[in-house]
Chain A
């Protein structure tokens, strides 16, 4: 397992939002986490990436216990995060957003001094940016546009591209298809498929349970902060309870779900 979550609880003050959750994501695997609004999916992801403190339990990245590590330290260990609400740096250009994606790798005060490795690192940066542009050609033409003025779908592409700039081995995505046109959502799911085939471990939170169960290998269903069902994606699609609770209401309606703008968590 690349990611193992072991009996984790997360609380806002005294209020528990995630109860005793255990889950795992292996190399080259897409695992999806589905559940109603307020089930605690975002809370769990934020705790995994170190933006929220874990109240009890432990989180492992490979063999390494990363419980309680600060978010900014986890990037270098290979965790990429596409947060709910996209977290755009709205006043900065698309290019600057992407460059910031490589912040952890292209580090240090020496980058100010024009030392010998600087050129090399710049080449590497260029290569990564080119790679993102290949995945999302639409971003190329928007390179110098402010991220805040992109359309919702373009922002989502940028958020994913920016997370990929960190070269993660584990990628967590919180509702990447939210507010996207169906064909664009399909494109993004296709991309996740390819990343999985390249060996990335992916934890995907989605409102569109059908789409995510289709591309996922395994899935977890979360209710009121707890994992209530855990199975292969195939089984989950055919699970009566899941069909009733999640598939019925959202069947093929990804694009119709009202786009709720997730607010930047400050």
Chain B
């Protein structure tokens, strides 16, 4: 049976979130709108990473590559080959998922640190391909003039319009993920994370489940990547490199690895921090390393859960017994 959302409190929180999200662009501040739009795109990738890392227990340090593959396929198909952008996006998602599915079988022969190294390596290789296959990708000088999405005569050509498109997708992804987590598949994922051998002796095809979740998370990343390409209209390799893979892990950790809606919080925190620290260059990366360590020690379930627990402890102290 579907488990979309459990608990009234959570439902209320989500309703509030949706209302707030729909109001922001109406304020008319383009900067806020565009920052929040990017947060929505990142949150889509982060949820996939949470499904893979948090729920299934499999590390990926190369997720930016899927994001990039999605972006480049959508961009190249729609610009170079004049494919309808929607169709290009669908193809990008399916192709990226299929690619992840194919590499999943060899990759998941590895575990723990080896898996982390392999995904890291794959991410770097793919990033180098973005740079070096310049006759297709535009290489370091980038890929220009990517068309945008439109329905009939209505083009998503302003931040305002694209914002609602992105968040529509993001919320859909959240609900789908929430449903998966509460399903039989979700139970199998957590079983694999807790004890892979026990899950196998209960009939769970652990490798297949892991590969499917990798493919799903790659599909999310490709969706986000193509949205990014259509939104910005220009892509080049840097946003799809190792650094972004690490940022994605930080987003997942901050939001709570085994938390679906936390991904939005994680994506927002990291993005806002990056915005604030922008004048100082790449020092945010140093800070991110620190954040991961601190969060994992103080509140491995994510910052929101941690704050919730803290609040409960404080209010218990304060109420006279």
- Residues of A bordering B, CB below 8 Å: 46, 49-51, 70-76, 79-81, 83, 87-92, 96, 99-101, 103-104, 106-107, 111-112, 114, 162, 166, 264-266
CB atoms of B196 and A266 under 8 A apart? yes
Q: Considering only CB atoms, which chain A residue lies closest to B112 in the complex? A: A266
Let me know if B199 is at the binding interface, CB within 8 A. Answer: yes
Return chain A residues, CB-CB under 8 Å to B206: 72
Can you list 15 residue pairs at the A/B interface with Cβ under 8 Å? A46-B197, A71-B197, A72-B201, A73-B203, A83-B197, A89-B198, A91-B193, A100-B204, A103-B188, A103-B191, A103-B203, A103-B204, A107-B203, A112-B184, A266-B196
A218 to chain B, nearest CB (A): 24
CB atoms of B195 and A87 under 8 A apart? yes
Q: Considering only CB atoms, which chain A residue lies closest to B208 in the complex? A: A72
Return chain B residues, CB-CB under 8 Å to A74: 201
- In the complex, A99 Cα to B2 Cα: how many Å? 16
Let me know if B305 is at the binding interface, CB within 8 A. Answer: no
- In the complex, A115 Cα to B197 Cα: how many Å? 31
CB atoms of A104 and B197 under 8 A apart? no
CB atoms of B203 and A83 under 8 A apart? no
CB atoms of A111 and B184 under 8 A apart? yes
CB atoms of A51 and B204 under 8 A apart? no
A87 touches which of B1, B197, B203 (Cβ 8 Å): B197
- In the complex, A73 Cα to B206 Cα: how many Å? 11
CB atoms of B197 and A76 under 8 A apart? no
Q: Considering only CB atoms, which chain B residue lies closest to A87 in the complex? A: B198
Assign chain B's interface to a size class: 20 to 34
Which secondary structure dominates where chain A touches chain B? loop
CB atoms of A89 and B191 under 8 A apart? yes
Let me know if B205 is at the binding interface, CB within 8 A. Answer: yes
Known A-B contacts A96-B187, A99-B187; the reply to A166 vs B194 at CB < 8 A is no
Q: Considering only CB atoms, which chain A residue lies closest to B193 in the complex? A: A91
Known A-B contacts A89-B190, A103-B184; the reply to A70 vs B198 at CB < 8 A is no
- In the complex, A90 Cα to B201 Cα: how many Å? 16
Known A-B contacts: A88-B195, A91-B190. Give 9 more (CB < 8 A). Answer: A46-B197, A70-B205, A72-B206, A74-B201, A83-B197, A89-B198, A100-B204, A265-B197, A266-B197
A61 to chain B, nearest CB (A): 14
Return chain A residues, CB-CB under 8 Å to B199: 89, 100
- In the complex, A91 Cα to B2 Cα: how many Å? 21
In residues 143-161 of chain B, which contact A (Cβ within 8 Å)?
none
CB atoms of B201 and A71 under 8 A apart? yes
CB atoms of A51 and B191 under 8 A apart? no
Q: Considering only CB atoms, which chain A residue lies closest to B192 in the complex? A: A89
B112 to chain A, nearest CB (A): 7
